[in-house]
Amino acid sequence: MAGIGGRATMTPGYDAIVLGAGAAGLFCAALAGQRGRRVLLIERADAPGKKILISGGGRCNFTNIHTAPDRYLSANPHFAKSALSRYTARDFIDLVDRHGIAWHEKTLGQLFCDGSAKQIVAMLRDEGAKGGVDLALGRQIADIAHADGRFRVTHGGRTDAAPALVIATGGPSIPKMGATGFAYDLARQFGLKVVEPRPALVPLTLGGEDVLFRDLSGVAADVVARCGKTEFREAALFTHRGLSGPAILQISSYWRHGDEIGIDFLPERAGGWLPAAKRAHPRGTVRALLRDALPDRLAATLAERLGADGDLDNLPDRVLSAAERQLADWRFRPNGTEGFAKAEVTIGGIATAGLSSKTMEAKTVPGLYAIGEAVDVTGWLGGYNFQWAWASGWAAAQAL
Ligand code: FDA
């Protein structure tokens, strides 16, 4: 076993064992270590922070300056409030600044490293080293037992014990990176409930009539995507399987099987623009007007499907108004998602009803904690999920 910074260590008794050296586990272990706790951090993979490394296209969108509880989904929308308010985006930015990591706001409050996501992992390892955290990599957890107020974790042929155990093994999104429902099995072992996990921030698939839109694979447009009362204005991208792009990924978290989504392809246009265009350009066509605002292939497909062919002059206002309404709320009925294989995060997870929102400790199992994506708290796209990992990790670390 090695110290998190790489030095060899003795094998002392531990105050806490953290399972999973991802964003939440690395941060929680480091902070607890810095508070004087002897911490063992156990990771199955051969290196820590693998999702951090691939995040944000390799630049890690590490937080969002607009972090607020209403940008998180959970069976209990109030649960995340306490942790998010006590460890804020500003706090994490200060840490990043203290490590001299340059960053920029890309869009919508999303902060990315100027350089590489590797800097965030290095920062977390450095913080862990400051806290004297022992990091055990490449360990399969064979067994976890709980007796006499101690958790005994058997991993890689040895057993370590501590009075506190933190579940930070994330969710099942991207199984090819080794992600599993391990956290849920463990939570159930201790009598905690699990809100049914489903893929989120995930592309949607189209079938039936909508399948024709697959011909537009690769075409993107700035749209408003809606599902129920929720809407996002960002880019949508047609794919060979259906719909993706930030607007769709965001709305996917709110979408349930059977729901329609509505897309406004021309969010800048005020009501009545098509009849007004007819008066200004009677010889124009709907297709040409759409081409002014949208990529050619998308404009052509929409115009064809609207069935509003020919000169505007020959189209009655009621036909143009109907076309306008459809363009502002084009209905798609996705037949599914691309699943956990393509989901950036998991919605659902360890039920918050069984956890303290202040400390993340299980109400019925003193000493057991759950943090990060393993918990039923899921953020929007754009740095919100890492901020939850930091904030929940911080909350647990204060209690360890
Ligand atoms: P995380 O998954 O990071 O860590 C869990 C750790 O536990 C892993 O290291 C895993 O190997 C380990 N583990 C699992 N089972 C184990 C076991 N049985 N024993 C021991 N260890 C085990 N979010 C964001 O805010 N900004 C972004 O830019 C992105 N970008 C992004 C891109 C892609 C492609 C994905 C898939 C996801 C994102 N995310 C994101 C989401 C973000 O990565 C995610 O919310 C956090 O990594 C969650 O942190 P956790 O520490 O909870 O889990």
Q: How far is the CA of 208 from the centre of ligand 1 (A)?
A: 34
Domain extent, residue 68, equals 10-199+346-399
Counted domains in the chain = 2
**pLDDT mean over 338-363:** 98
Q: How far is the CA of 109 from the centre of ligand 1 (A)?
A: 21
The CA distance from 331 to 125, in Å, is 47
Which of 28, 113, 166, 169 for a ligand 1 pocket mutation test, highest count of atoms within 8 Å of Cβ? 169
How far is residue 8 CA from its own chain's centroid?
A: 35
Q: How far is the CA of 54 from the centre of ligand 1 (A)?
A: 10
Q: Report yes or no on 193 lying in a domain.
A: yes
pLDDT in tens, 247-285: 999 999 999 999 999 999 999 999 999 999 999 999 999
- Residue tagged 């839109």 (tokens): 213
Inform me whether the pLDDT recorded for 31 exceeds 80: yes
Q: How far is the CA of 331 from the centre of ligand 1 (A)?
A: 33
Q: Report yes or no on 170 lying in a domain.
A: yes
Q: What is the model's pLDDT at position 194?
A: 98
Q: Report yes or no on 384 lying in a domain.
A: yes
How far is residue 122 CA from its own chain's centroid?
A: 22
The reply to whether 178 and 249 lie within a common domain is no
Inform me whether the pLDDT recorded for 113 exceeds 90: yes
- The tokens describing 385, both together, are 């999920």
The reply to whether 96 and 190 lie within a common domain is yes
Q: What is the model's pLDDT at position 10?
A: 42
Other beta carbons within 10 Å of 84: 25
The reply to whether 195 and 209 lie within a common domain is no
The reply to whether 68 and 194 lie within a common domain is yes
Nearest Cα neighbor of 1 from 111, 157, 184 is: 157
Q: Report yes or no on 16 lying in a domain.
A: yes
Q: What is the model's pLDDT at position 1?
A: 60
- The tokens describing 345, both together, are 């995060």
The reply to whether 244 and 166 lie within a common domain is no
The CA distance from 376 to 354, in Å, is 11
pLDDT in tens, 186-195: 999 999 999 9
**pLDDT mean over 58-82:** 98
The CA distance from 373 to 31, in Å, is 18
Q: What is the dihedral of CA 316, 320, 325, 330, to 10 degrees?
A: 120
Last residue of a domain, one of 311, 337, 363: 337
The reply to whether 209 and 322 lie within a common domain is yes
Inform me whether the pLDDT recorded for 180 exceeds 50: yes
Last residue of a domain, one of 315, 337, 359: 337
Q: How far is the CA of 171 from the centre of ligand 1 (A)?
A: 7
Q: What is the model's pLDDT at position 212?
A: 80
Pocket of ligand 1 (CB under 6 A): 19-25, 42-45, 50-51, 54-56, 60-61, 141, 168-170, 173-174, 178, 180, 182, 344-345, 372-374, 383-386, 389
Q: Report yes or no on 74 lying in a domain.
A: yes
**pLDDT mean over 77-91:** 98
**pLDDT mean over 24-32:** 98
DSSP-derived letter for residue 45 is: S
Beta strand 16-19 with 164-167 is parallel
* Contact indicator for 205, 167 with CB cutoff of 8 Å: no
Percent of the chain clearing pLDDT 70 (strictly above): 97
Which of 385, 388, 392 for a ligand 1 pocket mutation test, highest count of atoms within 8 Å of Cβ? 385
- The tokens describing 127, both together, are 């913080």
Q: Report yes or no on 1 lying in a domain.
A: no
Q: Which atom of ligand 1 is nearest to the CA of 42?
A: 20
- The tokens describing 133, both together, are 């955290």
Nearest Cα neighbor of 124 from 17, 5, 13, 240 is: 5
The reply to whether 184 and 67 lie within a common domain is yes
Closest Cα to atom 35 of ligand 1: 344
Nearest Cα neighbor of 332 from 270, 239, 269, 268 is: 239
pLDDT in tens, 141-165: 999 999 999 999 999 899 999 999 9
Q: What is the model's pLDDT at position 29?
A: 98
Q: How far is the CA of 73 from the centre of ligand 1 (A)?
A: 17
What CATH number is given to the structural domain containing 120?
A: 3.50.50.60
Which of 26, 51, 84 for a ligand 1 pocket mutation test, highest count of atoms within 8 Å of Cβ? 51
Q: What is the model's pLDDT at position 119?
A: 98
Q: Report yes or no on 26 lying in a domain.
A: yes
The reply to whether 239 and 316 lie within a common domain is yes
Average pLDDT, the chain: 95
- Residue tagged 């670390």 (tokens): 397
Q: How far is the CA of 232 from the centre of ligand 1 (A)?
A: 24
The reply to whether 115 and 217 lie within a common domain is no
Between these two residues, 108 and 209, which has the higher pLDDT value?
108
Q: What is the model's pLDDT at position 7?
A: 45
Q: How far is the CA of 196 from the centre of ligand 1 (A)?
A: 18
Inform me whether the pLDDT recorded for 197 exceeds 60: yes
pLDDT in tens, 206-225: 998 888 888 899 999 999 99
* Contact indicator for 78, 201 with CB cutoff of 8 Å: no
The reply to whether 153 and 179 lie within a common domain is yes
The reply to whether 195 and 213 lie within a common domain is no
The reply to whether 350 and 391 lie within a common domain is yes
pLDDT in tens, 290-331: 999 999 999 999 999 998 888 999 999 999 999 999 999 999
- Residue tagged 């050296």 (tokens): 21
**pLDDT mean over 237-252:** 97
**pLDDT mean over 92-102:** 98
**pLDDT mean over 385-390:** 98
Last residue of a domain, one of 304, 337, 370: 337
Percent of the chain clearing pLDDT 90 (strictly above): 93
Q: What is the model's pLDDT at position 175?
A: 92
* Environment class of 102 (CB within 10 Å of its CB; exposed 0-12, middle 13-18, buried 19+): exposed
Nearest Cα neighbor of 206 from 236, 244, 174, 233 is: 244
pLDDT in tens, 4-25: 654 444 456 899 999 999 999 9
Q: How far is the CA of 42 from the centre of ligand 1 (A)?
A: 14
The CA distance from 184 to 199, in Å, is 15
Q: Report yes or no on 4 lying in a domain.
A: no
Closest Cα to atom 8 of ligand 1: 22
Q: Give the total residue count for the chain.
A: 400
The pTM assigned to this predicted structure is 0.96
